[in-house]
């Protein structure tokens, strides 16, 4: 059986018009069995969290107000889609009434457990999927029957072997009778049957899991941009789609803030040898990116990524070289505070590490002062030049340094096996640095 998993994110199902477009795209993929995985309508998951939090703070008015907004959005979409039948309205109301009871329960207890939050949060996908399946006129499969997870509510970990069995039990027979089925992203259930979620943004993960379980031909992640771009288009209007990239490149870009998809979520699919493409519902015939198992961009620089809100902590210790175990002691400080260190650079007498600015800087400084003199550089950004062939291309270094000429660099890192060259600069200079680098790698005939 050749199967295609098509995942649509929140903006792709954000209103009636978008849902019609989703249906057009799904129907255009003739000749293949299609499993359509949908997110909640844009903004709904956030509203559900706000609603539950309001109930926990005993602000029932606000909670009820949010719920009624959620209900109206779905009822309105169902009317625009000509779906306002007693059956569909009844199913929407059923979820809304369940949420009403939850609100009162949370208010009564003044407590919001992760288990309850998952049940509440799952409503967004359960609602949007009713509309999408209704409009496509195809069966709706409750993802909780297939996506089996552990009981780590809020960020449940999937159980791959169980999912494979459950997919064979619940999806395969449906696909024998139907060409298209719809199911929810983000949600699953644990052994005892309670609802779990895979963590925020988890719908990509669901698509990857289902694709891997069914050994699909391809997983299409439909979003609002034309794949992964060579830079943030808000900074670099000429940024363009990266057509093919490796898993490592995608992972590296995501860790530096490229928001398109978190590649760890498609790992199960790539491990199963299934390519993942990232496409735009606004331009269904436009450009797209393919992350393919075993493939590479074949480029020294595939994209430039940037992340703000970085600080550098430096510890200077004149006699560091004589002290065996100095670095162990230093990293132990970060470890004990539960802070993950990003880049590291060491010289004879000074160690600098970069961190997110949300780290407990004061506490860290106090601890680190026992090891040496501590200084902090704030308002920094980390920029990464990423490409599989980066290290094999000495040219990259020359180009990089010419491009950022005149912009002070605080820290540089390029690991032995790394596919990225990272630079830390002042936040105020970061935009210009990205623009210059993009020009050097993508706008001067280096394709
Ligand atoms: N609706 C969920 C969220 O907003 C999952 C997703 O969209 O992937 O986090
Ligand atoms: Mg979303």
pLDDT tens digits for range 435-446? 999 999 999 754
The per-residue pLDDT for 446 is: 46
The answer, yes or no, to whether any atom of ligand 1 lies below 6 A from the CB of 422, is: no
- The least confident of 107-111, 144-148, 393-397, 441-445 is 441-445
* Average pLDDT of the chain, as a whole number: 94
Mutate to test the pocket of ligand 1, among 11, 39, 42, 199 (most ligand atoms within 8 A of CB): 39
| Distance of CA 176 from the midpoint of ligand 1 (Å) | 29
Confidence of residue 348 (pLDDT cuts 50, 70, 90): confident
- In the chain, domain spans: 3-224, 303-443
**C-alpha–C-alpha distance, residues 303 and 309, integer Å:** 20
C-alpha dihedral, 31 to 161 to 142 to 276, nearest 10°: -40
The per-residue pLDDT for 326 is: 87
CATH topology of domain 303-443: VC0802-like (3.30.2130)
Q: What is the pTM of this model?
A: 0.89
**C-alpha–C-alpha distance, residues 81 and 41, integer Å:** 15
CB neighbour list of residue 140: distance below 8 Å, 6 or more residues apart: 129, 130, 133, 181, 182, 183
CATH number of 3-224: 3.40.1160.10
The per-residue pLDDT for 99 is: 98
Mutate to test the pocket of ligand 1, among 46, 143, 201, 206 (most ligand atoms within 8 A of CB): 201
Mutate to test the pocket of ligand 1, among 8, 40, 122, 198 (most ligand atoms within 8 A of CB): 40
| Distance of CA 411 from the midpoint of ligand 2 (Å) | 34
The answer, yes or no, to whether any atom of ligand 1 lies below 6 A from the CB of 45, is: yes
Residue that the structure tokens 């002042």 belong to: 426
**Which residues sit in the known binding site for substrate?**
45, 125
**C-alpha–C-alpha distance, residues 355 and 104, integer Å:** 41
**C-alpha–C-alpha distance, residues 342 and 355, integer Å:** 6
Q: How far is CA 317 from CA 183, 352, 373, in A?
A: 58, 12, 6
Residues shown for the chain: 447
**Is 160 strand, coil or helix?**
helix
- Contact call for residues 188 and 147 (beta carbons, < 8 A): yes
**Which residues sit in the known binding site?**
7-10, 45, 125, 223-224, 234, 259-260
- Contact call for residues 252 and 235 (beta carbons, < 8 A): no
| Distance of CA 10 from the midpoint of ligand 2 (Å) | 5
- For residue 292, which phi and psi values (nearest 5 degrees)? -120, 140
- The least confident of 147-156, 170-179, 414-423 is 414-423
pLDDT tens digits for range 168-225? 999 999 999 999 999 999 999 999 999 999 999 999 999 999 999 999 999 999 998 9
The per-residue pLDDT for 322 is: 63
| Distance of CA 261 from the midpoint of ligand 1 (Å) | 12
- Report the Cα 415 to chain-centroid distance in Å: 25
| Distance of CA 49 from the midpoint of ligand 1 (Å) | 12
In the chain, pLDDT over 90 holds for what percent of residues? 83
**C-alpha–C-alpha distance, residues 270 and 273, integer Å:** 5
Beta bridge partners of 140: 182
Mean pLDDT of 248-275: 83
The answer, yes or no, to whether any atom of ligand 1 lies below 6 A from the CB of 207, is: no
C-alpha dihedral, 218 to 125 to 134 to 97, nearest 10°: 170
- The least confident of 49-58, 114-123, 299-308 is 299-308
**Which residues sit in the known binding site for ATP?**
7-10, 223-224, 234, 259-260
Ligand with an atom nearest the CA of residue 128: 1
Sign of CA dihedral 75, 81, 85, 88: negative
Confidence of residue 292 (pLDDT cuts 50, 70, 90): confident
């Amino acid at each position: 059986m050749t199967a295609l998993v098509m995942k649509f994110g929140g903006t792709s199902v954000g209103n009636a018009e978008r849902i019609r477009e989703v249906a057009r795209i799904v129907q255009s993929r003739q000749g293949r069995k299609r499993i359509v995985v949908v997110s909640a309508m844009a903004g709904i998951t956030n509203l559900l969290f706000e609603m539950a939090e309001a109930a926990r703070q005993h602000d029932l008015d606000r909670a009820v107000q949010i719920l009624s907004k959620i209900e109206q959005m779905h009822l309105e979409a169902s009317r625009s889609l000509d779906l306002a039948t007693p059956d569909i309205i009844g199913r929407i109301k059923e979820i809304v009434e369940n949420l009403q009871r939850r609100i009162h329960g949370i208010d009564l207890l003044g407590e919001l457990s992760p288990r309850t939050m998952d049940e509440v949060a799952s409503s967004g996908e359960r609602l949007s999927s009713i509309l999408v399946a209704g409009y496509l006129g195809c069966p709706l499969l409750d993802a909780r029957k297939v996506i089996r997870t552990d009981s780590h509510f809020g960020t449940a970990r999937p159980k791959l072997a169980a999912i494979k069995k459950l997919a064979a039990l619940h999806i395969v027979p449906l696909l024998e009778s139907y060409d298209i089925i719809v199911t929810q992203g983000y949600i699953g259930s644990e052994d005892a049957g309670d609802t779990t979620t895979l963590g925020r943004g988890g719908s990509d993960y669901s698509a990857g899991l289902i694709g891997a379980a069914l050994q699909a031909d391809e997983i299409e992640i439909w979003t609002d941009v034309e794949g992964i771009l060579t830079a943030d288009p808000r900074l670099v209007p000429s940024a363009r789609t990266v057509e093919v990239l490796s898993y490592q490149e995608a992972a590296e870009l995501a860790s530096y803030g490229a928001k398109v998809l978190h590649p760890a979520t498609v790992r199960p699919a790539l491990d199963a040898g299934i390519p993942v493409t990232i496409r735009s519902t606004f331009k269904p015939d436009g450009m797209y990116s393919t992350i393919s198992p075993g493939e590479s961009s074949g480029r020294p620089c595939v994209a430039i990524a940037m992340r703000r809100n970085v600080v550098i902590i430096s510890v200077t210790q004149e006699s560091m070289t004589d002290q065996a175990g100095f670095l162990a002691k230093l990293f132990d400080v970060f470890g004990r505070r539960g802070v993950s260190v990003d880049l590291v650079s060491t010289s004879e007498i000074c160690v600098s590490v970069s961190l997110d600015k949300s780290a407990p800087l004061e506490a860290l400084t106090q601890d680190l002062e026992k090891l040496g003199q501590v200084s902090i550089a704030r308002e920094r950004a980390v920029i990464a030049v990423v490409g599989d062939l980066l290290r094999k291309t000495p040219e990259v270094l020359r180009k990089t340094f010419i491009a950022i000429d005149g912009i002070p660099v605080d820290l540089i890192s390029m690991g032995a096996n790394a596919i990225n060259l990272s630079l830390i600069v002042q936040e105020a200079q970061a935009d210009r640095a990205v623009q210059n680098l993009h020009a050097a790698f993508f706008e001067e005939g280096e394709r």
